[in-house]
Amino acid sequence: MKKQTNIYETVTTQFERATDVMKLDPNIKRILGTTNNELTVHFPVKMDDCSVEMFTGYRVQHNDALGPYKGGLRYHQSVNIDEVRALATWMTWKSAIMNIPFGGAKGGIQFDPDKYSISELERITRRFTFALGDNIGPEYDIPAPDVNTNSQIMAWIMDTYLSTMSPHDRNKCVHVVTGKPIESGGSLGRDKATGQGVVFNIIQWARDNEINLNGISYIVQGFGNVGSWVARLLNELGAKLLAVEDASGAVQNNGGIDPSSLNDYVQIHRGVQGYSEAEAIDHQTFFGTKADVFIPAALENQITAGTAPLLNVRLIAEAANGPTDPEGDKIIQKNGIELIPDILCNAGGVIVSYFEWLQNKRSEFWELDEIDQKLLRKIENGYDRVSNASKNYNVDYRTAAYIVALTRLEKVYKERGIFP
């Protein structure tokens, strides 16, 4: 089997292409091509049976020229320093494209959370937070959910961080994480934000191509937070879900799958496998399903030299980070498949995280319709910036998205200069 692409190499390939096209100042290129800070922590946690296990966690801070570091935390057995570097770098580009005053960071722990009890997960999370110490903070570096982390984990991180502070400072710092439960300072709409942002991007694409989304078909890989929200929101627009793949397997029903019913099933059975309203299919059949749109919403390196030739879709909307490797990218471009790149497509999460952060700082609580409206405006503007750059430079949307981000960052560095 071919070795998986190292996703930090994917970032470098994408970055090099954009910097060549836009002729980024070589000094700024040197700065942005490197991460600012990389922290690896090893920490002990007491298990339910009183044994002690050692864990390895990471936090990588890529760049903070536009504002505090911002980015999710991932719990997965494949987490490693290069993956975290890549994800941190993409966060910088995302905020720059969307005009949000944040930099880029990412973190995670290398372990399979499914193998641990809830109380062990809580202790792992709290001890990791303690190990990170002052390397995170509400005005410095603000984590959020990512793969296998959720609002409960954010609540534990916030509680641990606040417990280490003086009582006078605690309520000033609830914005140390975003994606919290609503009652603990979270924002309405954060749960669905990434999926909602993906759907708003698809709406922009449909607008530009004069396509009616009512009646179009789509397939989704990954049915966790992001994938299940995309599916539920697209169905509200009249689109038809034909196939879903997750870590447990893949299912298909050309008559249409009801995403809400599938979501209920997944909540109980922890995967799509065994869902009785659809037929089980294999990985190859899933990728070959004929549909209008494919939404990868699982992990990186899914659209590769092996799977890209199978795709029979018009558009790929990258909800996951880094789902397409450089070989896969070449094939889909050659086959004329359009693509909304991850750093544009899945930015809804960081946008509503920014709204949550603002609400916490101002002790405000915004209504959902206000949040959705503001999110839509941000996505429309970001999408148009990328679309214009694609026309101006005559490049694909991924390269155009990089150019938008790098142009903003280049300007900031030139205005501020390099200390000393």
Catalytic residues: 106
In the complex with ligand NAD, the residue whose CB is nearer, 206 or 220, is 220
The Cβ of residue 359 has, within 10 Å, a number of other Cβ atoms equal to 20
User: Which token pair is 367?
Assistant: 């209504």
Q: Which is nearer to ligand NAD, 19 or 304 (CB)?
A: 304
* Cross-strand pairs, 241: 218, 257
CB 21 within 8 A of CB 395: yes
CA distance 418 to 306: 44
Measure the CA–CA gap between 230 and 394, rounded to whole angstroms.
30
For the bound state, the minimum distance from the C-beta of residue 275 to ligand NAD, rounded and expressed in Å, comes to: 13
Place of tokens 């899914």: 302
Report yes or no: 338 and 315 within 8 Å, Cβ to Cβ: yes
What is the closest distance, in whole angstroms, from the C-beta atom of residue 414 to ligand NAD in the complex?
A: 30
Whichever of 72 and 138 has its CB closer to ligand NAD, that residue is 72
Give the strand pairing for 249-257 and 104-110.
unpaired
Least distance between ligand NAD and beta carbon 75 (Å):
8
When the beta carbons of 19 and 307 are compared against ligand NAD, the nearer one is 307
HSE-up (13 A, CA, CB side) for residue 34: 8
- Name the residue nearer to ligand NAD (CB basis): 225 or 252: 225
Q: In whole angstroms, how close is the CB of 384 to ligand NAD at the nearest point?
A: 21
- CB nearer ligand NAD, residue 19 or residue 92: 92
CB of 397 to ligand NAD, least distance (A): 17
CB 243 within 8 A of CB 250: yes
- Indicate the residue among 19 and 301 with the shorter CB distance to ligand NAD: 301
Residue nearest to ligand NAD (CB): 224
Beta pairing class for 338-340 and 315-317: parallel
Is the Cβ of residue 61 or residue 346 nearer to ligand NAD in the bound state? 346
For residue 304, which of 323, 328, 284 has the smallest C-alpha distance?
Answer: 328
Minimum CB separation from ligand NAD for residue 11, in Å? Answer: 14
Nearest CA-CA partner of 116 in 194, 178, 48: 48
Query: Taking a C-beta distance cutoff of 8 angstroms, is the pair 294, 323 a contact?
Result: no
Minimum CB–partner distance for residue 274 and ligand NAD (Å): 14
By CB under 6 A, name the binding residues for ligand NAD.
145-148, 194, 221-227, 245-247, 297-299, 319-321, 346, 349
Q: State in angstroms the smallest separation of the CB of 79 from ligand NAD.
A: 11
Closest of 141, 21, 54, 64 to residue 393, by C-alpha? 21
What is the phi/psi pair of residue 290, to 5°?
-75, 125
